[in-house]
């Protein structure tokens, strides 16, 4: 089975060990290869954050170059895509938010755009060793987070968010066709 087909199977639901084994089997990606805007989606593994990003209106990430990255893009109800200041996101408490609250707050970040939006890049790309392989990693400027990426195909990445004190959170990035 090729990587794209295997990812499609995993996206129906998997466990952390299987998701990380798939990640480990994928080839590394260089920082320079990541230029562009990517649409994100979660790979549900039973992580406490499963469903939270998508419910809040998460769109993905934008890599302008290795030193200029928008780590969190969101979409408001009008369809506008905008960058969010990661320090204003409640990542520390997010796993403790009840599912019923998440369900009722669909697209909440879009409604709070004026308070959360930033024009500044809040991350950069660096080659990082993670799980024994050197690959592109996105280092947040002000948070203890590194997102590490592996290649699924020419336009698809599998990412693992390494947040200090938390289990790995797995997600998929698909390059936008129109930039």
> Tell me: the pLDDT tens digits for 101-157?
555 454 555 557 767 778 999 999 999 999 999 999 999 999 999 999 999 999 999
146, 139 contact by CB (below 8 A): yes
- Residue-level pLDDT at 57: 85
**Do 171 and 41 touch, CB atoms closer than 8 A?**
yes
Q: What percent of the chain has pLDDT over 90?
A: 67
* Segments in the chain forming alpha helices (H): 3-10, 16-25, 52-56, 99-104, 108-111, 113-116
With beta carbons less than 8 A apart as the criterion, state whether 40 and 59 touch: yes
* pLDDT value, residue 48: 87
Into which CATH architecture does domain 3-175 fall? Beta Barrel (2.40)
The pTM of this model reads 0.88
DSSP H/E element including 42? strand 36-42
Structure tokens at 89: 């996101």
Q: Which stretches within 96-167 are classed as H helix?
A: 99-104, 108-111, 113-116
- Convert the pLDDT of each residue in 59-101 to its tens digit: 999 999 999 999 999 988 888 899 999 888 655 444 545 555 5
CA-based torsion, 146, 112, 70, 61: positive or negative: positive
Query: Where exactly are the structural domains of the chain?
Result: 3-175
């Amino acid at each position: 089975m090729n990587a794209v087909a295997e990812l499609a199977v995993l996206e129906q639901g998997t466990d952390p060990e299987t998701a990380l084994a798939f990640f480990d089997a994928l080839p590394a990606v260089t920082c320079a290869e990541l230029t562009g805007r990517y649409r994100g989606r979660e790979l549900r593994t039973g992580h406490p954050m499963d469903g939270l990003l998508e419910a809040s209106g998460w769109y993905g990430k934008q890599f302008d170059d290795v030193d200029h990255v928008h780590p969190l893009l969101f979409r408001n109800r009008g369809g506008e895509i905008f960058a969010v200041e990661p320090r204003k996101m409640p990542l520390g408490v997010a796993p403790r938010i009840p599912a019923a609250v998440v369900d009722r707050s669909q697209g909440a970040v879009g409604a709070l755009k004026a308070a959360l939006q930033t024009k500044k890049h809040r991350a950069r790309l660096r080659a990082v060793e993670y799980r024994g392989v050197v690959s592109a990693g996105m280092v947040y400027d002000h948070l203890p987070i590194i997102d590490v990426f592996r290649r699924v195909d020419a336009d698809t990445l599998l990412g693992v968010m390494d947040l200090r004190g938390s289990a790995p959170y797995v997600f998929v990035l698909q390059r936008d066709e129109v930039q």
